Structure 1
Amino acid sequence: MPPRESAINPLPPLILALFALTMGIEILFQLGSRGIVGGPQAIGWRQAALLDYGFQGTFPSFMIETGQLRPEFLMRFLSYPFVNGSFSQAIFAGVMLLALGKFVGEIMASFSVFLLYVLSTIGGALAMWALGGEGDWLFGGFPPVYGLIGGYTYLIWVRLGQIGAQQLHAFRLIAVLAALQLIFGLLFGFAQDWPADLGGFVTGLIVAPVLVPGGFRALLARLRRPD
């Protein structure tokens, strides 16, 4: 008798690890703000972390102007998603991370989903630098989540094309999810980080074709194909 397939596909382990890290940091902030751990100085842990690990356009601008590659500045391209501005932001971004990570992980390998997350994180920071104000802070886990949405949109676009359906319908998903985040932001408050969300989504959409199984080989075949 063949083994029964599980009705619930497991989450990519690396996505679970990212979620656990993000929520672990948030739990520390919550415990510190209530004086349960860390003593009186723990009340300022969140604010200190935002300043130490958040992203701002002034950091890459400084490196370009001075010709200095500062590790503490480069780190911010990857560290900002793990420091959220509030508990509600951390929870909402975390739930979306798990949901989108599972959807994309049904097609992509676990490491490919992780790489999609990392590249979208960097893409979100670059977009914030290019389109946002230099003094605007970027923090929170939404830009890489939007990168996963970009990857999922591509997968749906391909699937719709295979069955002959209207492929533009794939982009309805990003519209719905963006509307949900907008409502959440209006109710609970959010940073003006729309360039980073856009950058994360576009990055995910662009790199997903290479990260799907056989995608890199397909890209090489297209490049080698004579005109």
Structure 2
Amino acid sequence: MHDSEPAENPFNAVPFVPLILVLIIAGVEFTLSAAANGMIGGAQGVGWRSAVFGEIQFYPEIMTEVFERGRGSFDYYKRFVTYPFVHANFSHALWACVLLLALGKFVGEIFSAASFLILFFACSIFGAAIYGLLSWQNTQLIGAYPGVYGLIGAYTYLMWLTLGRMGDNQFKAFTLIGILLGILLVYSMIFGSSPTWIAEVAGFLVGLFIAPLLAPGGWAAFLNRIRQRE
């Protein structure tokens, strides 16, 4: 008989930082879902999600208040980093967690913990800011998706490097974002468009362009790779 090997803990495969982000998002969602179903919070628990939205969601009017009317406050500024942790419903949060785990494993194994955090929050912040500037509606922005799309940007950059070393077509690196944008287009055609896609596309572009600075070796390594190709 062969000795049975201990099952590997799936959480061991995911770097610490993306795992913590997922646990925070999941914890918030389980709490709000439980409250909405009357498991906790009593009669007032049904309104917890709306109350949390009111406290941490981002909306385009914030950009007007801060930059045009000069009414900046902690309540406004905090929303740039708090909105990724609350979602519209369970499935909205579930997909964010799935993507964050998958991309977090790939990107987090190459980027340092600090670089991963900077990447996620920079894409979330600038994604929200660009959304606030370009949106034609004052629609709330919630969810981790601008930060997740930033990870897709970093993933695209890393795949670009990998394909280059293999001598393959480097534009294949854009396959994932192409598929996701195609799904987004089909979804918009069926269910109607929401301007929040601006934050997601902006998050991707920010992630793509800052990934060379945050990847191992930083800007020096990026310039060295450019010189080698000349």
Verify same fold: TM over 0.5.
yes
What is the distance in 1 between the residues matched to 2:65 and 2:178? 35
Report how far residue 67 of structure 1 moved.
2.4
Can you list the C-alpha shifts for 1:185-213, whole angstroms capped at 9, x where unaligned? 88999954110001110010011000110
The whole-number CA distance in structure 2 between the counterparts of 1:46 and 1:124 is 23
What do the CA deviations read for 1:8-36 (whole angstroms, capped 9, x no partner)? 97322111111011110000111101111
Aligned residue in 2 for 1:69:
72
Which residue matches 1:104?
107
How do 1:81-120 and structure 2 match up within 5 A?
81-120=84-123
Q: CA deviation at 1:134?
A: 4.8
Query: 1:3 aligns to what?
Result: none
Deviation of residue 180 (structure 1)?
Answer: 4.7
The Cα offsets for residues 151-186 of structure 1, whole Å up to 9 and x where unpaired, read as 000000111112221111110111123345666788
Match of 1:23 among 17, 23, 26: 26
Q: 1:189 to 1:12 in 2, by over 3 A?
A: farther
Render the CA deviation track for 1:87-115: whole Å, top value 9, x for unaligned: 10000111000000101122211221121
- Corresponding residue SS for 2:38: coil
What are the Cα deviations for residues 111-169 of structure 1, in whole angstroms up to 9, with x where unaligned? Answer: 21121111110121012112213511111111110000000000001111122211111
| Correspondent of 1:164 among 150, 163, 167 | 167
Residue-pair matches, total: 217
- The Cα RMSD (Å) is 2.6
Q: Once the two structures are aligned, what percentage of the paired residues are identical? A: 40
1:180/1:92 CA distance change after superposition, 3 Å: farther
| 2:136 is equivalent to residue 130 of structure 1 | no
Secondary structure (helix, strand or coil) at the match of 1:55 reads coil
TM-score for both structures, normalised by structure 2: 0.85
Q: Quick one: which of 152, 157, 181 aligns to 1:154? A: 157
- Give the whole-Å Cα distance in 1 for the aligned partners of 2:141 and 2:66: 18
Structure 1 residue runs without a partner (length 5+): 1-5, 223-227
Q: SS of 1:138's equivalent?
A: coil
- TM-score normalised by L of structure 1: 0.86
Deviates more, 1:156-165 or 1:73-82: 156-165
Query: 1:141 is matched by which residue type in structure 2?
Result: A
Q: Is the 8 A contact 1:56 1:134 kept in 2?
A: no
Q: Distance in 2 between matches of 1:29 and 1:88?
A: 13
